[in-house]
Amino acid sequence: MAYVNNTMIIRRDLLAKIAGLLKTGELVDKIDQIPLEISPRRRKSQLRCCIYKERAVTKYKLMPILGLLTEEETNELTPLSEYAKMALDRENPRSEILTVVDEACTACVDTSYIVTNLCRGCVASPCQMNCPRNAISFGNNGQANIDSEKCVNCGICKDVCPYHSIVYVPVPCEEACPVGAIHKDEHGVEHIDDSKCIYCGKCVNACPFGSIFEVSHIIDIFKAISSGEQVIALPAPSIMGQFNCETSKLVSALKILGFHDVVEVALGAMETTINEAAELKERLESGQLFMTTSCCSAYVQAVDKHLNQLRPFVSHTHSPMYYAAKIARLRYPEAKIVFIGPCIAKRKEAIDDRNVDFVMTFEELGAFFKGFDVVVDECENSLLDSITKESRAFGRAGGVIAAVQAEGLKVDIKAIQIEGLNKKSMSLLKAFCKGKGTGNFVEVMACEGGCIAGPSSYVDPTKGKSLYKIAIDALL
């Protein structure tokens, strides 16, 4: 979930500054000034040891916004302007989805258990007696010490301490990852294992130093627009809960940014609903125990990489993005097509979809509105496609279930919602494969609350849920 915090504010500020420079055509000329503006010389450092460290961190955080990787392409002596030229000159965006900005990462502790000053050095010494690796000793001050070289983070010492003097200190990004896809190397640098990563985005918002970034497509999108190409926007249904305005005004705002036309992904959701309903009916009538949805890209990645036993039960129906992109491609065969949503995993789905060229997040879109001085609520109303209310509601938890049930299938549907992919929910899905489930139609969304709580949303989940409900209820 994308709750507001200072690292998010900094990230959005950087995005907006890049958008503003793209608007004025001054990206190459003025990008080197951004770190100096963020950390001026006469301001005392508030976040790190000195302003020079802060400036370096800002420089490297700008790299993935330019669509570049910090670990492969950066040189301390190369100015940002050179990297900006590199970004503007490239023909295609990088295929990588997430990157760790090591300069911003604090290399969190290796040992997750720490002895505090509450330790009394008791005679019982249960922490030392029960440690399976002999990692605990007592120093001259009488307090216990944990040897990080020996500790295996089993947690027994914490459990047996009578004074509760041993605390668990998590590595936030690793703790948030439901599939163990992020880890440190021998130098303490965090790396994301793409063979395990499901791109749920939990690590991005969990890192308290804002060191994990998406590898952005905004430079590539702007290049396509500014070169005169037809660029078509595909906003996800959950956009209705992001900018506190009518959807018809959002369409106008997107066109002000330079998009040639807008094809709502909710239009594709109508096709998903029809196909999903027909598939569910066919599978249940053939005797299959249950079927899960397939709209959530992070869930599909989780099945492919970690829950192979679930594959036979996942719907073959494509996501709304797929069908919307297909519609857009038929309308505009030579256009560049941009999916706009709150989801990092959609970047992976887009790579595999020949009809989608780029992905822009709601967070990036909000930054562009700011950088281009577009006040969405002041835009004119545009004519919208005729789309069912249920299809527009796909962005919230239970939306797919409601849409399929509205099809009036003559089968007994026992729907189950799973909101949020974590170890507990993944265990529940495994139980379904063993016949221990209580439903026959399982909607799975990686984010609690659905897409309106996606990792790259523009507003926090609570506000997004409220705005989305207002927008849906206002539909005829």
Q: Tens of pLDDT along 54-79?
A: 899 999 999 999 999 876 666 788 99
Return the pLDDT at 43: 63
Residue 149, pLDDT score: 86
b/e per residue, 39-56, with b = 16+ CB within 10 A? beeeeeeeebeebeebbb
- Domains 113-170 and 227-473 belong to one CATH topology: no
Spatial distance between the Cα atoms of 356 and 221, rounded to a whole number of angstroms: 12
Q: What is the CATH number of domain 113-170?
A: 3.30.70.20
Say what the pLDDT of residue 189 is: 80
Residue ranges of the domains in the chain?
Answer: 6-105+179-216, 113-170, 227-473
**What is 227-473's CATH number, 3.40.50.300, 3.40.718.10, 1.20.1730.10, 3.40.950.10?**
3.40.950.10
Taking 50 as the pLDDT cut, the residues of the chain under it are none
pLDDT for res 103:
86
Q: What per-residue confidence (pLDDT) applies to 1?
A: 52
Question: Which of 53, 49, 56 minimizes the C-alpha distance to 34?
Answer: 56
Say whether pTM exceeds 0.85.
Answer: yes
Predicted local distance difference test score (pLDDT) of residue 423: 87
Q: In sequence order, which residues have a C-beta less than 8 Å from that of residue 354 and are 6 or more positions away? A: none
Q: What is the pLDDT of residue 44?
A: 60
Per-residue confidence (pLDDT) for residue 383, from 0 to 100: 85
pLDDT of residue 226: 96
The pLDDT value given to residue 18: 97
